[in-house]
Each structure stands twice: as C-alpha cells, then as structure tokens.
Amino acid sequence: GNSVTQMEGPVTLSEEAFLTINCTYTATGYPSLFWYVQYPGEGLQLLLKATKADDKGSNKGFEATYRKETTSFHLEKGSVQVSDSAVYFCALKDGGATNKLIFGTGTLLAVQP
Amino acid sequence: DAGVIQSPRHEVTEMGQEVTLRCKPISGHDYLFWYRQTMMRGLELLIYFNNNVPIDDSGMPEDRFSAKMPNASFSTLKIQPSEPRDSAVYFCASTDSVTGNNSPLHFGNGTRLTVT
C-alpha cells in the first residue's frame, strides 16, 4: 500500500542554519505530495505541494522538489528562524478520486536563537 | 471564514465514560476527515465522509468508536466506553472536491482527550 517515511526528529538547529527534512514515499501510480506544518497547540496547515514529477513546491522560504526517480520529496530551507519551530509532516494523496491523505510520522524542528 | 471548528478543546474523563467530540467543517466543503494523533502512532486516519456519507472507516480502532455526520455542517466522533489508551489529540479536517483533486485539507485545532 501507499506509505510515507520521513526522518525522525527532533531536528535542532541554530537560527539561520540550513534545513533539510527527508521524505520518501511508496505509491502506485502518480501521487500528489504535500508538506504540512503543525505549530504548537494548533492543527496542521498546508505548507506546500507538488502534483507531478519535477514540480517544485515553495512557500515561506521552504522548498521541496518531487523526485520520481528517487521517490523523494525532501523539505529544505536556506535559513531557518525561531518561528519555524514546529512539527513538519510529509504526506501523499494517490491519483484516485478520493481526497484521502496519508501522512508520515512527523519531524519536530526546534530552532534556537 | 472561521475555519474548521472543533469542540471541546480539552476533555478529561474517567475510564468507562462516553465521550463525544464535535466538528463543524468549513462551509461548502464536501469531505470531512477524523484523525487521531499520538506520540507512538503519529497521525492516523480514523474515518472520512463525502457528502455526509461514510466512505472509509477502516481506521476506526474498534466498535467502541463511532462517527456520524447528520448534515453538511456537523459531525461527531463518539467513544463508548472510553479507555485510557484512547488518550490522544483528535483532529477534524475538511476539504472540497470542487477546486480540484489536490485541494488542501483544512484542520481544526483538535480536541485533546485524556482518559484516566
């Protein structure tokens, strides 16, 4: 079945450091890929998405490129801020009609001043 | 738009009691999802509805859990009887099929359930 694997956290970085959170997926067909972010005490919210191979999603300085050859969708940011501290979830939706999302386990990012 | 609204934000109850969690999706959204989040298991999809009809309830852990969607603006998740292992944060999310197959999920702020 479809699944998402992301790196375990926590990831602890200093402000302005470079961030990478790895995400790989297993899916039949051509899934759409997403990154969601969860700030403390809140629900998840969409950060970025990519719907086909080689697409790059970007938002708030974060980027992720849909790599079909490596079945990956790694999240990157060139310079993190304290306000980026949150839990980040990679997710996929298969190409069928359903809107069901399959989430990874989440990666906690802690950015220190 | 007020977003997805869940109530209560926190619920503390004793083992064996009935618990009802409530959700109001965003107006116009035709899909509604119930997720459970724990440290051990991450984010699990319990059940989802399309146009008020349950489509997939394979994630519901056992018969103690039930979910209903009597109309397009309201859904409940009920646990009866509750057990300590049900302690988790329960999220409701909604989306629509009108804007395309990749419309994002909109999550509520969750209900933190503690069963003692």
pLDDT tens string A59-91:
999 999 999 999 999 999 999 999 999 999 999
Nearest CB to B108; choose among A43, A51, A104: A43
pLDDT averaged over 10-residue windows placed end to end, chain B, 116 residues? 91 97 95 92 91 93 95 97 96 82 85 97
Q: Determine whether the interchain pair B97/A99 forms a contact, defined as Cβ–Cβ distance below 8 Å.
A: yes
Structure tokens at B113: 């359930």
Nearest to A91 by CA among A75, A100, A102, A105: A102
Q: Determine whether the interchain pair A99/B103 forms a contact, defined as Cβ–Cβ distance below 8 Å.
A: yes
Weakest-pLDDT range from A1-10, A14-23, B23-32: A1-10
Q: So what's the pLDDT on residue B1?
A: 64
CA dihedral B49, B76, B47, A48 (to 10 degrees): 80
Higher pLDDT pick, A54 / A94: A54
Going by pLDDT thresholds of 50, 70 and 90, the confidence category of residue A100 is confident
**CA B87 to mean position of chain CA atoms:** 14
Please, what is the end-to-end C-alpha distance for chain A in angstroms? 41
Interface test with A, best of B102, B106, B109, B111 (most A CBs within 10 A): B102
Q: So what's the pLDDT on residue A75?
A: 98
Nearest to A99 by CA among B23, B25, B105, B68: B105
Nearest CB to B102; choose among A41, A51, A102: A51
Q: So what's the pLDDT on residue B116?
A: 97
Strand, coil or helix: what is A107? strand
Cβ-based contacts of A41 with chain B (< 8 Å) = 109
Could you give the angle at the alpha carbon of A37 between the alpha carbons of A36 and A41, nearest 5°? 135
Using a pLDDT cut of 90, give the percent of chain A over it: 74
Q: So what's the pLDDT on residue B98?
A: 65
A-side interface with B, Cβ within 8 Å?
Answer: 32, 34, 36, 41-46, 49, 51, 89, 93, 95, 97-106
Q: Determine whether the interchain pair A45/B33 forms a contact, defined as Cβ–Cβ distance below 8 Å.
A: no
Cβ-based contacts of B105 with chain A (< 8 Å) = 36, 44, 46, 99, 101
Q: Which DSSP string corresponds to B34-87?
A: EEEEETTTEEEEEEEEETTEEEE-TT--STTEEEEEEETTEEEEEESS--GGG-
Strand-strand pairing, B19-24 and B5-7: antiparallel
Q: So what's the pLDDT on residue A98?
A: 66
Separation CA A28–CA A104 (nearest Å): 17
